[in-house]
Amino acid sequence: MSDCVFCKIAAGEIPANKVYEDDTVLAFRDLDPQAPVHVLLIPKAHIASVAEITPENSGVVAHIFEVAAQIAKELGLENGFRIVNNCGEDGMQSVQHLHFHLLGGKKMGWPPFPAQS
């Protein structure tokens, strides 16, 4: 997608602080970190969101989680971490290219959202 910022990062057209790359997956530091470790994992091929995952493209999602486990070890997150996906408007997704947030290096809170009536 020509106007997709994460497609541009995957293509090397926009710089990113990469922590992992292979033929199908890229991981890079979030520019607005919410934890001491905050890495985004994306498929290089454009998938808009979790809502667009199908039997045909879901293999890369499994691979993303394999990579996440590897990165977590490499970045010293032996005590645990959180993987977050925001999907769609209600999920507060701001970049319309599938991505998973790998967050760690501090004790997380739960629930992750303010209570509402």
Q: Which is nearer to ligand DGP, 37 or 117 (CB)?
A: 37
From the list 38, 46, 63, 99, the catalytic residue is 99
Q: Please tell me whether residue 94 binds ligand DGP under the rule CB under 6 A.
A: yes
Q: Which residue's CB is nearer to ligand DGP, number 4 or number 60? A: 4
Residues near ligand DGP (CB under 6 A), total: 14
CA–chain centroid gap for 110, Å, is: 20
Q: Any contact of residue 48 with ligand DGP (CB under 6 A)? A: no
Q: How far apart are CA 75 and CA 38, in angstroms?
A: 10
The pair of three-digit structure tokens given for residue 102, joined into one six-digit string: 């790998």
Cα(29)–Cα(99) distance, rounded to whole angstroms?
12
Helix and strand counts by DSSP (H, E) for the chain: 2, 5
Smaller CB separation from ligand DGP, 55 or 111 = 111
**What's the closest the beta carbon of residue 113 comes to ligand DGP, in angstroms?**
13
Pairing of strands 37-43, 100-104: antiparallel
Residue ranges that bind ligand DGP, judged by CB under 6 A: 5, 14, 16, 28-32, 40, 86, 92-95
